[in-house]
């Protein structure tokens, strides 16, 4: 869904997750492993319900919905995934670990999230925040509007108001 590529990281997401769980005196149980594998199999924005349904569709019934939710929280704490904006009120997640910094365009009509990266934006933010003595080490930007596909969608017939 995106061509931003990957950032090379020394540990796999699963290794990093296992390390984090160890610091919390927890284990990477089989259900948790199934969830982390599924999440890092492809780079997609996802929500917890979709993920739970997908796992059930694959016959992974022993992963309960509550395990999916809890594992997602743990993965966020471990710095593997992050929450992004919520088109249509849904809570959406994406990879954070091993994935380059990027921003999102969010379509208010279809809820699509599109990614982009622009170095100029970054340098403008550095200048603006630096002027206030702020040392920036990251940013998030969400741009709202209507995507190209929705803009191309056929228009409805004129109603009376349009004709006046």
109 binds Zn ion (CB under 5 A): yes
Binding piece for Zn ion, criterion CB under 5 A, among 10-18, 72-80, 113-121, 137-145: 113-121
User: Cβ of residue 5: shortest distance to Zn ion, in angstroms?
Assistant: 13
106 binds Zn ion (CB under 5 A): no
Q: Which of 132, 20, 30, 127 is nearest to 81 (CA)?
A: 20
State the sign of the Cα–Cα–Cα–Cα dihedral 84, 108, 40, 119: negative
User: Cβ of residue 112: shortest distance to Zn ion, in angstroms?
Assistant: 5
| Structure token digits, residue 125 | 């933010």
In this structure, the number of other CB atoms found within 10 A of the CB of residue 95 comes to 19
Closer residue to Zn ion in complex, CB, 18/95: 95
80 binds Zn ion (CB under 5 A): no
* Cβ-proximal residues to 31 (8 Å cutoff; 6+ apart), any chain: 62, 63, 64, 67, 71
7 binds Zn ion (CB under 5 A): no
The footprint of Zn ion (CB under 5 A) covers 94, 107, 109-110, 112, 115, 147, 150
């Amino acid at each position: 869904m995106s061509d931003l590529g990957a950032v090379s990281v020394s540990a796999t997401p699963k290794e990093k997750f296992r390390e984090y769980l160890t610091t919390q005196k927890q284990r990477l149980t089989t259900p948790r492993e199934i969830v982390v594998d599924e999440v890092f199999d492809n780079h997609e924005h996802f929500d917890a319900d979709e993920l739970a349904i997908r796992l059930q569709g694959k016959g992974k019934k022993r992963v309960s919905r509550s395990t999916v939710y809890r594992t997602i929280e743990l993965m966020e704490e471990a710095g593997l995934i992050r929450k992004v904006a919520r088109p249509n009120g849904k809570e959406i997640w994406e990879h954070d670990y091993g994935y380059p910094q990027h921003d999102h365009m969010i379509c208010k009509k279809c809820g699509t999230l599109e990614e982009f990266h622009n170095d100029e934006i970054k340098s403008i933010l550095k200048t603006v925040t630096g002027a206030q003595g702020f040392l920036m080490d990251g940013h998030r930007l969400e741009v709202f509007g209507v995507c190209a596909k929705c803009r191309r969608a056929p228009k409805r017939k004129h109603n009376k108001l349009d004709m006046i």
